[in-house]
Every structure is written in structure tokens, then in C-alpha cells.
Structure 1
Amino acid sequence: MTARVAAVHTARVSLAVTPDLVVRGARGTHDRSDFLLVRVVTTDDVEGYGEVSATALWSGEDGASAEHLIRTYVAPAIVGQPLVPVGRLETLMDRVLAANPFTKAGVSTALWDAYARNLGVPLAVALGGPYRDSVDIKLSLSGDGEHLDTVLAAARGMGFGAFKVKVGLGVDGDVARVRRVRELVGDDTFLGVDANGGWSRSDARRAVDGLREWDVEFVEQPVAPEDLDGLRAIRDLGVPVVADESVFSMADLRRIVERDAADCVSLYIGKSGGPGRALAMGNLAGVFGIDVLLGSNGELGIGAAAQLHVACALTDLSARFPSDIIGAHYYDEDVLERPLDSDGRVVRLGAEPGLGVVPRADLVKQFR
């Protein structure tokens, strides 16, 4: 393969979350998402697409910063370089830009997409899979009172049958919220909770005690990201712990393994810096017996497609904990010509090359 990177283009997108599904958690209210779409063009006229999930409160990155960094540093470093191996291009990005994993992930995804399209195979195949052709998924529920009832009704209307409840906002209210959801969904529905690091250790212990009656399947990020001993302490209470905000890099994952701090890690394409790196982290976690799921930062269809391909390429994907490949379910519109094949219970892998998705024609015209 002699193709080289010929150009990198970007386009900004900002979408409001569907009102019925607005997420309210310990890290704030997520009612709008800003994205930077990325297009890589090769000298063989193959295009690849990626997506920067740019939520400043979560990642410290936004569409403006991502666009500036890509145009000023990243594009000059990779344009003219051979497309293969993609890992070398990721290393070049690291040499000109520190941190900013979500920005790098958008470019990395576009590079991997172009690589797989050039081969004529789905990205999951280019990554060494697939080990499965569908992934179980769940949706986040948040709010109280009538709003919570509305959110659940909307989620069920979309076909979702597994959920996690946003907590970390005050133990008494958290327990009451979970109790209400359990009453609404019944005893047999999969239900976890996500504190987004919003509890202290003492609050987490009290919350776990209060939640036992409602049969929660896991507690996600119960304490602050840096408090790995706190994660381990909550595990010792007998409830499965999912680490999310604690795991961005391979070094973070190593610390989780060393402290025996989690039963499962929630990996993002954005946190990891791209599909290949997310896959490597997930496979390493599996070696140490830690479950892996694909978590969400409210991705659009391109980002969700990347999640799906990585999930299918993983040697082991959690059978206990559904992933969060929710794509455009949170938004009133999609950025894709054709959405992912999802019924709310599972999302299915297609056979098309690369990510298998194409942005809407009106969005393609916005790339610069």
C-alpha cells in the first residue's frame, strides 16, 4: 500500500440533546453537544471520517480548540506521510501535541477508517476481528419526578431495555431515584448506577448500603478519578465497580490493575486517543480478567460506529455489562446518511468497508 495522507479537513457541528433525554449528573447537565467532524483524504482519493467529541467540562477540549490544534499542528505533521502504519501517524501526533486525546482520536479514527476502506474491509476486520457481530447496549437515565418518568418512557419507546441511573447528587436523592426507576422497570430489568465521581468514600458506602435493596448490577465511578484506593474499598463492599473517569490512558489502566480497583473498565475512543489504542487497552484489561465495555460521551453516528467496530474487534467484551453505543439516540437528528443498525437492545455490525458510515451530504459540503 503506497497511499499517503493528502489532506485533513474539519467541520463543526453542534446539536441539542433531545429534551426528554437530557442527562443530569454529578458532572453537570449535558443538554448540548459540540463536535468537530474530521475527514482525511489519501493520495488514492480514499476518504476516512472521524469525530471529536468536544465537551469542555468533561475533556477540557472543544470544537474550536480541536480545529485549531488539528490545522496548526496535527495536519502539518501527518500530511504527506504514508498512511501505513497508522500507529506511526499517531506517534507523530504525539510528538507535536501533548494530551488532547479526544482531538487526536478524531484524526486517528479518520485515519483508521481510510486504512480499512483502502483494504476494502470493515474496520473491525482491519483491527483483527471481528469476534462478534452485535453488542448489547444500555441508556442513561437521570432527573427526578415527572422528568425521570418522561426520560424512561422515551427510552423505552426507542426500544431500550437496560439502563444506568445517574447518581452522585446526594445520597438520599440518589437512592430515591434508583428506587423509583426499579419500581417502574420491574425486578428483571438490568439496572446500574453512575456517580461520575460525585460521592466521597463515606457517601459511597452509605449509598451502596441504601441501593442493595434495589438490585443494582454495578456502580460506575463511585469516587473521584484519582482515588483508586476508594474504588477498591467500594469493591470490597461486594458491589461490582466500573471505572470510567479513572481510565484515560494505558498508564491509568496499569494503575487500575495494580490496585485491583475495578471489576470493569469503561473505555472511550476519545479517552484512549483512537480506535487502535482503545483496542490495545481493552485487550490488556482482558488479560488481567477485567471486564471491558465501550462507554459514551454522547457520540454522534461516526463516533458510535468507531465504538462498535472496536467493541467487535476486542478479544473479550463484557457479557455482564452492556456498552453505551447509543449513537444518535440522544439527538433529534443524525449526522449520517444512514444510521447504525440498532434497536435499543443491541447495535449490529455491518459489512461495509471502514466504519461503514457516510456523513450527510449537507455536512460533507461544510468540510474545510
Structure 2
Amino acid sequence: MVDDKLRTPGAVRDAERWTAHNYHPLPVVISSAEGAWLTDVDGKRYLDCLAGYSALNFGHRHPQLIAAAHAQLDRLTLTSRAFIHDQFADFCRELAELCGKDLVLPMNTGAEAVETGIKVARKWGYQVKGVPAGQANIIVADGNFHGRTTTIVSFSTDEDARADFGPYTPGFTVVPYGDLDALTAAIDDNTVAVLLEPIQGEQGVVVPPEGYLPGVRQVCTDRNVLFIADEIQSGLGRTGRTFACDHEGVVPDMYLLGKALGGGIVPVSAVAANSDVLGVLKPGQHGSTFGGNPLACAVATEVVRLLATGEFQRRSAELGERLRAGLEGLLGKGLVGVRVRGLWAGLDIDPALMSGREACERLMARGILAKDTHGSTIRLAPPLVITEEEIDQAIKTLTEVLAA
């Protein structure tokens, strides 16, 4: 018998009582999970269609990843970067090879990876490009989501993320997402980088126009500007390729990675670039106590090895077509917009029917967990271990919610 305090209403009240309200979670309290399924404190099961914003690409408690974590916990968990541990080189080498880059710098969170990318781009601009001291600028896109540190929210166009957190960090120029002409016009002699999400996740899985990313790559090459791809949500198999940039054959100068890299077990992020870029950093100029720790490296190395087989990229591509077909069948039946790339979808619900929050609450009541963003838009990002039958179940449930 579960103590009443642990059941959903009591646990929700306790969470609201003792936690700063920086999130507005759905009123469900999870106690265990396996694969694509979650179980709450009352024993009800839910199909996970969010996967921790892509942090759980390989599902909950993937056996290979759990085994790696257990084995490392029995040996060594932390040294700090003051010493080298025996998991570090393999992780960095194998991730660098997966990315096709020379060097990797491990960190912890996605926001840390973005901050690292910004610092490296500025230093590269001053030391390599010759930008005058203090004049470096970086081009970003409206609708972006790169994290919530003070520097990152300085160039956010989401007022909820930005308002009342000033004074803001200078050195960023915002242009419309998908508008290559505007981006090109914004570049000047002091521009050191273009920082973009190949697909904007928080904005509602917004896919840029065909040819946009190749165009960005070309103009960055022509103007001696670094192209930084934030693949923290879109990368590592989510879209049916290893990276979302791969869909148009684009190779950025720098990958920013996170979320799925930790296998849903530990926070792991990384920056991958060639030595002419990451090589500008020298000892003492950037660091992180927990970045690249033994436990993180042990788990993340197994993540890289799972991706190296290509199995999860294929699953995402193949099952993504099934997801696309099901969702596009609901256009005009409650959905007014659908965007799908692999197992990642943004759905625009007719606002006359309900908000995104209402849709997610109704899905939750029927055993499907998803998350809303921006009004009547919801995102679907199930673990890549989901089955055809489970995708069909999610579509069927969404159909019932829209019809109701």
C-alpha cells in the first residue's frame, strides 16, 4: 500500500509547496520507467512521447547504458579535470570520430555547451580572424532556444525567458529564422559566428526552408565566419540522421551536443570542432569541475557506440514516416499544422478547439505524455525505441482527444 503522501495529489502539492515555480509540469508523479513507458505513484502507465526533450532518445534505462553506469559506479565517479581518468580518451576520440572533428570538449548541460561555443567563437575571432578587442558579434535567429543563462537569454526573443533578467550581454544580432538574405546582410567584419538550431525545437519543431542550411554554410565560408550548429535537441538520432544538419549534407564548424549524450542517466554535453577552432583554448581559460567526469564518459561512450551502429538513426527515419502519415491524416480534423523530421513532430492544434496545455492534459488522462509550447502547439518526441504499435496508439489517442 502506497502512503497517501506519495500518491499523486499529495506529491503534486508537496512539489508546488517546496519548489520554485520555474516550470509548470503536468500533474503526474513518475516513480519508475522502462523503455518508452512510465509508471506513476498510483501504478498508472503512460507512453512517453517527450523523452525528456530528447535526453531519453534511447529510452528509459537502456540495458547497455545502465550496465555501463553500474560498472563505472563501482570503480570511479569523479576526479575533476586536474587528473586524467581512464574513460576520458575513449569518449573524446569516439565522439570526435562520430562528428568528423579533431577535438571534443566535454561539459555537463546544454547551456554550458552553448556558453562554451560562444566563448570559443569570440576567442577565435580575436586570435585568428583579427577582430578588434571587445568588438566580436554573433548572429542568432529569432525564435531561438539555446538555454537560460544570463548570456543566452540576452539574445532570446521569448519574453518569458528574457524579461527582468537584464542588463543583457551585448554582442548578438537577431535575424529572422530561415531568411538567408537577412542573415547575410547582418554579417560584418566583426562577425565571428552564426549560431543556429538546424531545427528549432522549443519553437515547435520548426524546420527551415530547403536550401537554408547549405546557404548558411556557404556564406559563413565566404565571409570567414564560424557556423555553430546547436544540435542539443535535434542531434544524436532524433531526426533520422546522426545530426539534423546531415539531411542537407551540411557540416558546421562546431557542433553543440547534449541531452541524449548522457543516455538519460547523467547530464553530459560537449563541443566538437577541429583544432583550428577549439585549439584556441589554453589551460585555465575555460573549464568545469564535473565536465568529462568518469561516470559521464563511461555512459556517453556507450551512447556513441549505440549511434555508431546506425540502428537508432534508421529506426527514427522509418518510424518517423509512420508518425508523419498518422499526424498528417489529422490535418483539418483538429490539427492546422504538422511538422515532422524523424521521430520529432510539432503539431499546431486549432486554437478554437483547445490550447496546447489542455491537449496535453487530455492526452495525459488517456495515458500519453507530451508537452505543449507556445499557445496551441505541442511537441512529440518519443524515445527511439518506440514500436509501430505504440506510435499507432499515440495517434489513436490524439485522434480521440481532438474529436472530443
| TM-score of the aligned structures, taking structure 2 as reference length | 0.31
Which one has the largest radius of gyration?
2
The higher relative CO (CA closer than 8 Å, separation ≥ 6) is in 2
TM-score scaled by length of structure 1: 0.34
